[in-house]
A = this chain, B = another copy of it.
Amino acid sequence: MSDKNFKSRLKELQIEVNHELEGYIKVLDVPEKKLQEAMKYSLMAGGKRLRPILMIATCLLFKENYDVCIPYFVAMEMVHNFSLIHDDLPAIDNDDFRHGKPTNHKAFGESTAILAGDALLNQAYITISNDLLMEKNMDMINLKIKAFNEFSKEVYQMMIGEFVDIECEGKDIDVELLKYMHKNKTGALIKESVRIGALLGEASLDELERLTHYAEKIGLAFQIKDDILSEIGDEKKMGKPVGNDREKNKVTFVTKYGLSESQRMLNNIINEANMEIEEFGDKGWFLKELALYIKNREC
């Protein structure tokens, strides 16, 4: 398949994901309207929708459509955006811009941003529990409970990654701790998005394992690319300032290995990730293109 096919399919899926998210986040005319607006502001601020699209693409390896995944990628994107809102807070990263717009606390104030983050995290679980409540098929209930269980644990891993990140700021940490941090902070939800797509797609254990390896690798690649973009990215395309990491004395793959070695590592990891997809034949084209997209993205 061509790169053009990939880009139009990616765009199509992003629109479909946004449409689903819109349906799950309502702003009602109630005393807490502003809280709902703050939740919606971040959830609908854009973003690549990488995690939902990974879940969808994985599910479509096994099923004709991805309907079964919808509540789970909605929950995933809610949690992802919760984490961005809280990470941006003055007491944590103190960032003013995200996706080219003021961060949540800049737009709504700090107390609302804290609560909007809390509420998005919780809304993810409301979404999952609503879906579980409606499911009547016993086998699917068991799979969905497994997905819920893994999801909740990987959200905790993400929080651990964020915590280690904060604790390490300004310290010269070793590569092992850097990888541990990223495996959790960025890797956990990326991995779990793929795993839920596979679980709800009723993949075999062998297929699940292969896809988990793929996901772990692109999760690491995503972070290396992030570090590269933080160093040499285009501020306009990224919608946030470049060079922040260095200013904050953050240890990154770039500060640790240099630019060209980081780029070489990135290339290798993406190749390794795509080896795991070989077994799925033609059906795997989109997941492979997604890996290349992570490598080549400009924001």
A→B interface (CB under 8 Å): 31-32, 34-35, 82, 86, 89-92, 110-112, 114-115, 117-119, 121-123, 125-126, 129-130, 132-133, 138, 141, 145-146, 148-149, 151-153, 155-156, 159-160, 162-164, 166-167, 177, 180
Contact = CB atoms under 8 A, between A and B. Distances in A.
Q: Which 8 A-B pairs have the closest CB atoms?
A: A91-B110, A129-B149, A126-B152, A35-B163, A125-B152, A32-B160, A91-B111, A129-B148
5 contacts: A34-B163, A35-B159, A82-B118, A132-B148, A138-B138
Given A91-B114, A145-B132, A35 B160 contact: yes
Contacts of A118: 82, 86, 117-118, 121, 159
Given A141-B141, A152-B126, A156-B123, A167 B34 contact: yes
Contacts of A34: 163, 167
A167 B34 CA distance: 9
A91 B89 CA distance: 10
A200 B229 CA distance: 51
A32 B132 contact: no
B32 A163 contact: yes
B115 A163 contact: yes
Contacts of A32: 160, 163-164, 167
B122 A155 contact: yes
Q: Considering residues A92, A122, A151, A153, which has the most beta carbons from chain B within 10 angstroms of its beta carbon?
A: A122
Q: Considering residues A110, A151, A159, which has the most beta carbons from chain B within 10 angstroms of its beta carbon?
A: A159
Given A32-B164, A130-B149, A141-B141, 13 more contacts: A31-B177, A89-B111, A91-B114, A92-B114, A111-B166, A114-B114, A115-B163, A118-B121, A121-B121, A125-B125, A125-B148, A126-B149, A126-B153
Contact of A156 (B91, B117, B119): B119
